[in-house]
Amino acid sequence: MSLVAIKNISKSYWRDSLEIPVLRNISFDIPEGEFLALMGPSGSGKTTLLNLIAGIDRPTTGSIVIGGTDIGGLGETALAQWRSRIMGFIFQFYNLLPVLTAFENVELPLLLTKLSSKERRDHVEFALKIVGLEERMRHYPKQLSGGQEQRVAIARAIVTDPTILVADEPTGDLDKVSAEEIMKLLDRLNSEFKKTIIMVTHDPRAAERAHLVRHLDKGELS
């Protein structure tokens, strides 16, 4: 059964009166537990497609149904709440808040829940243990290496136990060794914790970890 159903979506941006189409009539399904890699040249629309699936952007036409919810029908606040429950986000540049420790960064999404302080602590420590950074929880992002920062970002993404992890070039800012560690971790999250992962990447080695690779070119699936 498909977890994500994408039907005839198109996305265009407008520059003054000029329409710039980015995605054209895309339809495909993603089954639950899948590890999908979206590949394609720069400007092919893969990040735009990821943003639409993640619910941080809206298609010009078409619908996206995730876990039975048509996310196009959700208002801004409902969509934000939906994202906090269903989606975990991993960015290329980690996007950790520099004034917060690793623990506090991972705890951020839990502030939106009704969990008690102790429950939050347990969840955060568990997430940091999964990524192997329980010893670094009091460290600030600037005290961590790039690979460690990305692992904190992954812990932040999984701490609410979301159904789907979306990763936009998760190894794009890392050296080879760190990139390999991150990909192993994502692999583990998919196989051991059954997370559905949708990853945008340029890196063929990263794509090798995925079970399914879809290529985008000029806004169309090839």
Partner 1 sequence: MKIFKIIFKNGLRHKLRTILTVLGIMIAVTAFGFLRTVVTAWNAGVSASASNRMITHHSVSIIFTLPIAYRDQILKIPGVSAISYANWFGGVYKDASDFKNFFPRIAVDPETFFDLYPEFGLSSGEREAFMKDRNACVVGHKLAEEHGFKIGDIINIEGDIYPGTWEFVVRGIYQGRDATVDETQMLFQWKYLDERIGQLQQGRQGEVGWYVLSVKNPADLAPVSKTVDDMYFNSRASTKTETEKEWQQSFVSMSSAILTSLTVISYVIIGIILLVLSNTIIMATRERIREYAVLKTLGFTRGHIIGLIGGESMLIAVVGGVLGLFLTFPMAGAFAKAFPTWFPIVVVEPLTIVLAFGAALFAGLIAALFPAMKITRMNIVDGLRTIG
Binding mask 111-150 toward partner 1 (x if CB under 8 A, else -) reads xx--------------------------------------
141/147 with CB nearer partner 1:
141
Residue 104 within binding range of partner 1, rule CB under 8 A: yes
Separation of alpha carbons 84 and 101, rounded Å: 21
Contact with partner 1 (CB under 8 A) among 20, 29, 70, 97:
97
Separation of alpha carbons 168 and 45, rounded Å: 12
Residue 20 within binding range of partner 1, rule CB under 8 A: no
Residue 51 within binding range of partner 1, rule CB under 8 A: yes
Contact with partner 1 (CB under 8 A) among 5, 12, 56, 134:
56
Structure tokens at 120: 């939050």
Cβ neighbors of 53 (< 8 A, separation 6 or more) are 4, 6, 64, 66, 164, 166, 198
CB of 56 to partner 1, least distance (A): 4
Residue 42 within binding range of partner 1, rule CB under 8 A: no
Contact with partner 1 (CB under 8 A) among 30, 36, 39, 54:
54
Residue 5 within binding range of partner 1, rule CB under 8 A: no
Residues 76-95 binding partner 1 (CB under 8 A) are: 76-77, 80-81, 83-85, 89, 91, 95
Q: Is 41 exposed, middle or buried (0-12, 13-18, 19+ CB in 10 A)?
A: exposed
Pinpoint the alpha helices (H) of the chain.
46-54, 76-86, 102-107, 117-130, 146-158, 176-191, 204-209
20/112 with CB nearer partner 1:
112
160/209 with CB nearer partner 1:
160
Instruction: Give every strand in the sheet of 18-31, ordered side by side.
Output: 18-31, 2-15, 61-66, 69-70
How many amino acids of this chain bind partner 1 (CB under 8 A)?
Answer: 25
Count how many residues are written for the chain: 222
Phi and psi for 104 in degrees, rounded to 5?
Answer: -70, -35
In the three-class reduction of DSSP (H, G, I as helix; E, B as strand; rest coil), residue 68 is classed as coil
Task: Please report, as ranges, the residues that interact with partner 1 according to CB under 8 A.
Answer: 51, 54, 56-57, 76-77, 80-81, 83-85, 89, 91, 95, 97-100, 104, 107-109, 111-112, 156
